[in-house]
Structures are given as structure tokens and as C-alpha cells.
Structure 1
Amino acid sequence: MTMQSLALTETWPVPTAASAVVLADGTVAGRHGPTDHRFPLASVTKPLAAYAVLVAYEEGAVELDEPAGPAGSTVRHLLAHTSGLAFDEHRVSAEPGTRRIYSNAGFEVLADHVAAATDIPFAEYLRQAVLEPLGMTATALEGAGSAAKDAVSTVDDLVRFAAEVQAPRLLDPRTVLDAMTVAWPGLAGLLPGYGRQTPNDWGLGFEIRDAKSPHWTGATSSPRTFGHFGQSGTFLWIDPDAAAACVALTDRAFGPWAVEAWPAFTDAVLHDLRAS
């Protein structure tokens, strides 16, 4: 398979970029750039953290519907950004389940909850539960970093993660299906960088594309596409209809350049996949 589309990253106004596509069967369809270079992930940390939380759920350390966070909130609310916690403050700004408030604070509370339940610091639990089993040796949530935004990784490692999500070995496939299914359908909210979306659909740790517009994925991305992007100029999407996932990491902060470049890049990748 020829993935000439990945070379489009060379046109991006960034110092360094790397990208790859991995198919649902685990085949790496293409790589481009320094795929072993470690980049700050920003919010692409969240799917990794969410996966660790789901491992804790399957191990029986936590339940998805047990209380966690503000009064009335649960682990599931925190994963789906419906706990009512504010974006970057440990302050309640809505009743749980009533608004989609994208919340870094919610993921930090979630990490603390899992750490307390397992008696393992969350960064170490993430390493043991997800990173080590998948061979993601270049990935880490270092020190006392936020489980919402402070991991570092490489394209090569995130390819391993994207392959896992498409064909789960660490989790029951039914759990992953739950994670990529809309939780609390119909809730409106702000999608960072893209404004208010109605609805602003989210699964458990993964954003779901649906019919959002504007959006960081492509015009030809299926509504079932799910994933995450980060303010450090990073993204990972999985399109079940295309049976493929794409990772792109850069070292330039998200901004107008990404709003312009990313959708065209994704459409080119999907075109290459369809043409193969």
C-alpha cells in the first residue's frame, strides 16, 4: 500500500512532524517522518489515561457507575466530560449529566480516584496496565504530570495503542465498544478550538465525530470516527468504517494552521486507503 498522503506533513508549518497509519488488522500501512521522536501529547494523553481506567474497571478496582468527583458524579461521568467540573479548575459548574464540559480537572480527579482504589500512583498504573503490555517503551506520564495532558510519546508507540483499540487484547471488545459509543447523547458543549457543538458527543475518554462541524478530522471521515487531538499539535483518530487509524504528532501548538491542514490531510489519507 502506498500512503503518499503522509508526506503532506512536510507542507505543515511546524519544526518537526511524524505520522503513520495502522489498519484494523495491525498492519502498519505507512509511516513518515521521525516516528521514534518523543513529542508532548497534550490532550492525546486522555485516551491513554481512559484506557488505563477501563483496565482498572475490568480488574474490579473501580466500577464505571460508582461515585467519583463532585456529588452525583461517577467514573463514567468523568470519562465522558459530564461530571460538571469546569475546564481547568476543580470547581463545579453544572449538575452531573446535564452539560458536556470538557474538563482537564475531571481527568485529574479520575486519576486520583484510580490511584486511591489501586494504591498505585496513576502514572505507574498507566505504565503497568497499558504501556508495558503494549511495548510502548517511549511513552510516559512523567513525574506528577496531569493525566489529562502531560504524557509524552512517539508515533511508533501510538501506532501500538491504535492497533490495540481496533483489536483489543487488554480489554474486552465490549468495553471498547462502550468507550466509542456516545455517553449521554444530545448534550451540547464547547469543542476546544472549534466552538460550540450541538450535540458535542463523547464516549468514555474518546471524542466521537458524528456530524460535528467544524471538526479536526476530514469531510470524508465517517460519523463513527473517534479519537482525540491535543493543543501541542497532535492527534489520533480511528475510523471504524475505514478499518484504520491515523496518528500525527508535531511540535507546534494547535492553531489556525492545524484547523486548515488537518482535515485535508485526513481526507487524503482516507483517499489513499480507499484506493488501495
Structure 2
Amino acid sequence: MESLRMIDDWPVPAAAAAVVRADGTVAGSRGPAEQPFRLASVTKPLAAYAALVALEEGAVELDEPAGPEGSTVRHLLAHTSGLAFDEPRTMAAPGTRRLYSNTGFEALGDHLAKATEIPFSAYLREAVLEPLGMAGTELPGSPAKDGVSTLADLTRFAAELQSPTLVDRSTLDAATQVVQPGLSGVLPGYGHQKPNDWGLGFEIRDAKSPHWTGSESSPRTFGHFGQRGSFLWVDPEARAGCVALADRQFGPWAIEAWPPFTDAILAELRAG
């Protein structure tokens, strides 16, 4: 895909990107496929997917208590537990505000580790990474932000998010629809959004503005971006997903570069 060449102009030391169709075929890729990149918050969708596997295995339930008092697994996944961004402090009653929280995902990892009696990093590897052949991905620390992966591996994950093999389609569909709609909150890097819609570990595009995806992205688009300069989105209406990895801290360069890149990808897909 010619639009992938746009990453060559990004002001980053290294970048890689790929587009994968809903049938799992790769429409195009550019950049080093096997170079490891730090994922920052793109780690969260991987952690959330492990939680979905645990849900189907019966190890956890969405509405069982987890995190601060009154919070559940569902609240932790949807960033509505009330926990602060990066400290174990409760700032709101569960279900009342959308408070994006690394601490919430760390509480989720701890809860899953206790429920499965396996360290979370090991459970992620056994439940998600190994079945998908993601040998170049690891989680050396926090399930909120410390993942390391490659373009090749995240392309496999983007395919899984369109044609699931590890969870039932109904489970994935529920995870990529708005959970507890109508809640406002801050989308990191883009300011206050009303509403600030999320699914179970996945951000939902809806009508947010400004946003890191493109103006042509459908409201059903879901995914995540990270402060290390990478993102993953799936647009069900376009029947495609995109992964982009970079090794520069998120900032104005990404806010400027990402939306036109996504729009160019979508235009090329529509053109056939």
C-alpha cells in the first residue's frame, strides 16, 4: 500500500506499520517487521484480551469484585473503577466517571493472577501470545504499559481482533461496544471528551474530536494508542485494522501525523 510510505516522513528514529484485512491477509507493511518496540499503553488491549480469555475459561466474571470497594472486573477494564491514573488512590465512586487508569489495569493484572494462580505475564503468554504465534512479544512489567512487541506480532493480533480464534465472536463484540455509556473523561493527549466512550479495554472512536484516528474512521473503530508513539486500530466498517509502531514519545508530531495517515489508509482500502 502506497499510503504506508507516509511513515518515512515521520520525525522518528524508526517506524513500522502494517494493514491487515478482516480475513487475516496483510494488505501491506513497511518498516522492520521483527524490531522490538516498547508499546506503552498499547499493552492494555493485550492485557484486556487475556482477561476475555479468562472470562471464557470461567476463571473470572465481569461483575465480580476487583479493585477498590464497589468496583468490578468490568469497571477496571472500562476505566470506571474510580482509581487515579497512576497511583492507588480512589477519586470517584465506581461507575460514575471515566478515569483512564494505569493503576486500574495493574489491579486487573493482580486480580487475574490470583484467580488463575499464574503470574499475569505468564497467563498472557499462555492464553494469548503463544496461541497467536507472538513469539516476539513480552510483558516484563506492568500490564498497563510495559509490553514490548514487533510489527509482525501486532499484525497477528490485529487479525485476531477481526476474526477471533481465542474467544467467541460475541465476547469480542461485547468488548468492543461502549460500556457504561455517557460518561465523560479525559482522553490522554487529546483533552476532555464528552462522552469518553470505552469498551472492555478498548477505546471506542464514536464522535470524539480531536482524536488520534482519522476523520474518515467510522464511529465503530476501536483500538488504543500509547505514549511511546504507537497505535493499533480496527475499523469494522472498513473491514481492516492498522498497526503503527515508532520509537519516539507521543507528542505534537503524532497528533499531526496520525490522522492523515489513517485517512490515507482508509482511502486506499476503499479504492480497492
Output the CA distance in 1 between the equivalents of 2:91 and 2:58.
Answer: 30
Alignment correspondent of 2:195: 199
Determine which of 144, 148, 166 is the counterpart of 1:148.
Answer: 144
Q: Secondary structure at the match of 1:265?
A: helix
In the alignment, what sits opposite 1:257?
253
Taking the aligned partners of 1:118 and 1:110, their CA distance within structure 2 comes to 12
* Identity between Structure 1 and Structure 2 (%): 72
Match of 2:68 among 70, 74, 77: 70
Q: 1:28 aligns with which of 26, 29, 36?
A: 26
The runs of at least 4 aligned residues of structure 1 exceeding 3 Å deviation read: none
Deviation at 1:212, TM superposition (A): 0.2
Correspondence for 1:106 among 93, 104, 108: 104
2:215 maps to 1:219: yes
CA distance in 2, matches of 1:131, 1:236: 16
What SS does the aligned partner of 2:105 have? helix
The aligned runs of 1:40-55 (5 Å cut-off) are 40-55=38-53
Once superposed, what is the RMSD of the aligned Cα atoms?
Answer: 0.4
Superposed displacement of residue 43, structure 1: 0.2
1:122 aligns with 2:120: yes
Which residue in the other structure is 2:169 paired with?
A: 173
Q: 1:240 — aligned with what? A: 236
* TM-score under structure 1 length normalisation: 0.98
Give, as a single letter, the amino acid of the residue that structure 2 aligns with 1:10: D
Find the residue that maps to 2:19 and give its secondary structure.
strand
Other structure's SS at 2:267 match: helix
**Structure 1 Cα separation of the partners of residues 174 and 86 of structure 2:** 26
The C-alpha deviation readout for 1:116-149, integer Å capped at 9, x for no partner, is: 011100000000000000000000002xx00000
2:219 corresponds to 1:209: no
Q: CA deviation at 1:151?
A: 0.4
Whole-Å separation in 2 of the counterparts to 1:73 and 1:218: 34
SS of 1:166 mapped into structure 2: coil
* Distance across 2 between alignment mates of 1:254 and 1:227: 16
Gaps of 5+ in 2: none
Distance 2:235 2:34 in 1: 24
- Partners of 2:101 and 2:142 in 1: CA distance: 12
2-structure distance, mates of 1:227, 1:249: 14
CA positional deviation for 1:75: 0.1
Instruction: State the alpha-carbon separation in 1 of the partners of residues 104 and 93 from structure 2.
Output: 14
Choose from 262, 265, 269 the match for 1:269.
265
Q: Deviations over 1:7-46 (max 9, x none)?
A: 1000000000000000000010000011211000000000
Tell me the TM-score normalized by structure 2.
1.00
Q: How many pairs does the alignment contain?
A: 272
Amino acid at match of 2:110: D
Q: 1:162 and 2:158 equivalent?
A: yes
Q: Deviations over 1:42-81 (max 9, x none)?
A: 0000000000011011000000100000111000000000
Residue equivalent to 1:9: 7
Alpha-carbon distance in 1 for matches of 2:204, 2:22: 18
Give the Cα separation in 1 of the matches to 2:217 and 2:24: 20
Q: Distance in 2 between matches of 1:167 and 1:224?
A: 16
CA distance, structure 1, for counterparts of residue 108 and residue 255 of structure 2: 30
